[in-house]
Structure 1
């Protein structure tokens, strides 16, 4: 694995460098937000994982994350945030981070998160296929391919889905009208024990809904006090009205 860590604390970088080297991973480090972004832009296909601190000189982590997502939708991003910055964590997830780890953190905790996120990314990565596209999930209005990681609404592609948004959408659409609690979604999508706030799910759902609404009526519905469900049956009712 090739990891880029954008973090201005030299002690943290030196410590994580030893852990990365022990795993046999290649790594690069930058203590400046703008310079870290320049490394991404110079070769955006070379990074398997980006560890991004929130508070950085040059350009803060929020802006760096936004800029990365403009050029790479699929590279996994783990954001490092202060323990008491819940709002920053939610905003970070909204703008495209896949996960966050709170400071101060144990190196073993960060390593576990990296491995779990990378494993999920590899398991769901697109394969080179030929011939007609195969859709794993099809409803009356939605088609989803887990091979190409693409989702279509009435043959219109839902653009710019991040890895976590895609996984949430595929899980919900694969079980129409089944209600999923936030806890269920967390344990299903994040796989390893997740110790963050359940608002993580709300942040991803909010962005997912915005992208769905750019191509058609909403299909992700809130079940108040319980969680979320996928249901596109009301779209047929609207067409027949």
Structure 2
């Protein structure tokens, strides 16, 4: 796993670098946003995940996140935020981050989050073979030591400045209660009521048609889910609407897949959080609402009046294949 790590405090960079490398990750460091963007643009192949601090001396981690998301739609992005800065979390997610980790954090928590995100980025079936951390965000290895609080102490500590979060859409976030078990097949299964035969798509070169284009719909393959105007490929981790590809982040794709597998069924926010981020995820339910809002901006004709991802007020969301609009 190749990580781009943006952090201006040398002590924190060294602390995190040691723990990530002990867990088999390749780490490239940047101390400012300009350097991070230059490294990302020059990297071949692209980095798997960008780990971004928020408060930086020149351009902020938010600006770097926004630019990276535009340049690399399928790159994983994790923000490091201060525990007291609630608006930082929402703003980072709105700009395209897949996850956030609050300071102070333990290396084990950070490594588990990175493994869980990497798993969401892998083609269906490959994550099981590769043995990347499970959907519950299993601990990323025994080599992690200390806490980020220790590193911040060595660096003298600092407070992160947060921005103002864009207005909340959809349904209001609620305090997270007792989390039920992960629902159904979870984010890793390609089967479902609308998905046809489960399992990984056959690796048949003759069947590898060109990507769908106007007037041409790619044949449905094993593991695909066809739902109204949508076609979701589990093996390629891609989504099309009316034969036009919709580019999703790794987390957005996993969330859409979950909803499409449970077409017409109401899913609570806790259900979604458990299935996409894992039952042991330590965070806020707002991460579900923000990702739903981002997805609606991409797939709905009128995001303010959604037809495909319906809000179940006070509960969660439901997928509706719709009538092609």
By relative contact order (CA 8 Å, sep 6+), the higher-ranking structure is 2
State yes or no: 1:218 paired with 2:282.
no
Question: Could you report, residue by residue, the CA deviation over 1:50-109 in whole angstroms, capped at 9, with x for unpaired residues?
Answer: 111111122101110111111111111111011122222112112111110001111121
Q: What is the correspondence of 1:85-104 to structure 2 with a 5 Å cutoff? A: 85-104=85-104
Match of 1:140 in 2: 228
4+ residue stretches of structure 1 with deviation over 6 A?
125-128
Structure 1 counterpart of 2:192? none
Single out whichever of 103-112 and 37-46 deviates more from structure 2: 37-46
Shift in CA distance, 157/120, structure 1 to aligned 2, threshold 3 Å: closer
Q: TM-score, normalised by structure 2?
A: 0.67
1:106 aligns with 2:195: no
Q: Residue in 1 aligned with 2:61?
A: 61
In structure 2, distance between residues paired with 1:89 and 1:42: 28
Structure showing the higher helix proportion among its residues: 1
1 CA distance for matches of 2:204 and 2:70? 26
Q: Distance in 2 between matches of 1:115 and 1:232?
A: 32
Q: Are 1:161 and 2:245 counterparts?
A: no
The 3 A distance-change label for structure 1 pair 8 and 129 is farther
Q: Corresponding residue for 1:7?
A: 7
Q: Deviations over 1:169-220 (max 9, x none)?
A: 1110111110111111011001251111101000000010010125996300
Q: Choose 182-191 or 207-216, whichever is displaced more.
A: 207-216
Structure 2 Cα separation of the partners of residues 223 and 96 of structure 1? 24
Moved more, 140-149 or 199-208: 140-149
Q: Which has the larger radius of gyration?
A: 2
Partner SS state of residue 122, structure 2: helix
Structure 1's unaligned 5+ residue stretches are none
Question: Counterparts in 2 of 1:75-94, with a 5 A limit?
Answer: 75-94=75-94
> What TM-score does the superposition give when structure 1 sets the normalisation length?
0.89
Distance 1:116 1:169 in 2: 17
Any conservation in 2 of the 1:91–1:203 contact (CA below 8 Å)?
no
Structure 1 distance, partners of 2:82, 2:104, is: 7
Preserved CA contact (<8 Å) 1:3 1:50 = yes
The aligned residue for residue 177 of structure 2 is: none
- Distance (whole Å) between structure 2 residues aligned to residue 57 and residue 78 of structure 1: 19
**Residues 166 and 129 of structure 1: CA distance in aligned 2, closer, same or farther (over 3 Å):** farther
Structure 1 residues 115 and 232 mapped into 2: Cα distance closer, same or farther (>3 Å)?
A: closer
Q: Which moved more, 1:201-210 or 1:34-43?
A: 34-43
How many residues are aligned here?
235
Deviates more, 1:129-138 or 1:87-96: 129-138
**Helix, strand or coil at the partner of 1:62:** helix
The structural deviation recorded for 1:129 is 5.7
SS at the partner of 2:307?
coil
C-alpha distance 129-161 of structure 1, shift in aligned 2 (>3 A): farther
Superposed, 1:195-206 pairs within 5 Å as: 195-206=282-293
Q: State whether residues 136 and 144 of structure 1, in contact with CA within 8 Å, keep that contact through their aligned partners in structure 2.
A: yes
Equivalent-residue separation in structure 2 for 1:12 and 1:143 (angstroms): 43
* 180-189 or 40-49, which deviates more: 40-49
SS in 2 for 1:41: helix
